[in-house]
Amino acid sequence: MNKRISEHAGLYIHIPFCICKCPYCDFFSITNHSLKQAFLEALFREMDLYKGLSESFNSIYIGGGTPSVLTPEEISCVLKQVYAGFVIEDNAEITMEVNPGTIDDKTCLGYKNAGVNRLNIGVQSFSDNHLKFLGRIHSAAQSRAAIETARKAGFHNLGIDLIYCLPNQSLNDWKKDLKAAVRFKPDHLSCYLLTFEPGTPLTKDMEKGIYPFPDENISRIMFLFTIRFLETQGYLQYEISNFARVGEKNPRHFESRHNRKYWNFVPYLGLGPSAHSYLKLSRFWNHASVTRYIQDLKNGKFPVAGKEMINHEQRKIETILLGLRKKEGFSLKHYRDQFGHTLPAEKLLQLQHNGYLQKSNDRCALTPKGMCILDSICELLA
């Protein structure tokens, strides 16, 4: 290998099928699986269209949707096609998202044997009541079993996703969830605040007043508690919602190599319906329709729905926004070299003075208190 790891691109594959739709979710997926075979054929055609791409990849992320609706044989086929069509580094991180309601000992082992080396389990909560509220297809007992099954299958890099700040969820409920999660010693934890995306069934219910919108103060308290608690358990926050167990040899070993590319402007290619890509300073995205995706590829066309060049102004805003999402923040010198001006010193000082931001050497990063008001701080600085 003659390239630095940070220069390798990431490959994302979107599997657009779910067993049923969760009312809070706005990711693209369908519940009719009759097009699964045609989708896989289209996916392989899409890979063919990108043959000869100059990028090499050191991370593959199979997300969705629910990738575990695919059998281990199908995942193995997908990965074989990836290796046949792209330059994949020897040590590539290969992540797959799984839903606890869809895996067992055999499938888990099958995914491992197919080449997946990092499993991310969508647990979301260890409370059956909250799982019911979230419309999940699995119980807390199934999540526990899925984590144990994944370990038994030999996954040494295991992540758990949790969602918090649900209506009527108390701080105590959330503490119980976090404690239940760390008992399994996962290597990675993503803790997402429940968001109300426009048009989802959950958002509509909230707008009708069926459930109360969570109090901002409670979400702040829960967020700050999460960081403090996970730190005491050996997990370091490296991005606003992401925590990794401190690795023995390399402390950052369990951070998601793939997701870090999104925050660091490293190129990525997205395959599958609705998948987004960032290559050669442009962003483009595929049609969020399985039929359109299949049709375009049958006709030998890229299934691309839109494209935009990232202009100077956008890049500047994103450098601040994405940089401040990370615990390590971003380099002020790099910002100045790239954009030809410095960030307003008096505003930085004011934020520092109020405990929202910290500067060390040439880096600036948000404190946990600052992360609670990330959007307002970006607006102030951009």
Binding residues for ligand SF4, rule: CB under 6 A, are: 18, 21-22, 25, 27, 29, 64-66, 99, 122
Beta strands in the chain, from DSSP E residues, in sequence order: 9-15, 56-64, 87-98, 118-124, 158-164, 188-193, 235-239, 242-245, 268-271, 276-279, 282-286, 304-309, 330-331, 357-360, 363-366
Q: Which lies closer to ligand SF4 via its Cβ, residue 18 or residue 78? A: 18
Q: How far is the CB of 87 from ligand SF4 (least distance, A)?
A: 29
Q: How far is the CB of 347 from ligand SF4 (least distance, A)?
A: 38
Q: How far is the CB of 75 from ligand SF4 (least distance, A)?
A: 17
SS3 of the chain: helix, strand, coil, percent, to 5 = 45, 25, 35
Q: Which lies closer to ligand SF4 via its Cβ, residue 29 or residue 190? A: 29
Q: How far is the CB of 314 from ligand SF4 (least distance, A)?
A: 28
Q: Which lies closer to ligand SF4 via its Cβ, residue 29 or residue 277? A: 29
Q: Which lies closer to ligand SF4 via its Cβ, residue 58 or residue 125? A: 125
Strand 118-124 with 158-164, pairing: parallel
Determine the Cα–Cα distance for residues 197 and 133; give it in Å rounded to an integer. Answer: 16
Q: Which lies closer to ligand SF4 via its Cβ, residue 74 or residue 89? A: 74
Nearest to 223 by CA among 373, 92, 101: 373
Residue 62 has, within 13 A of its CA and on its CB side, a CA count of 31
Contact criterion met (CB below 8 Å) for 334 and 341: no
Q: How far is the CB of 195 from ligand SF4 (least distance, A)?
A: 12
Q: How far is the CB of 177 from ligand SF4 (least distance, A)?
A: 17
Q: Which lies closer to ligand SF4 via its Cβ, residue 25 or residue 380? A: 25
Distances (CA, A) of 218 to 212, 223, 374: 13, 8, 17
Determine the Cα–Cα distance for residues 139 and 131; give it in Å rounded to an integer. Answer: 7
Question: For residue 41, what are the contacts with CB-CB under 8 A and spacing of at least 6?
Answer: 294
Q: Which lies closer to ligand SF4 via its Cβ, residue 122 or residue 159? A: 122
Q: How far is the CB of 374 from ligand SF4 (least distance, A)?
A: 23
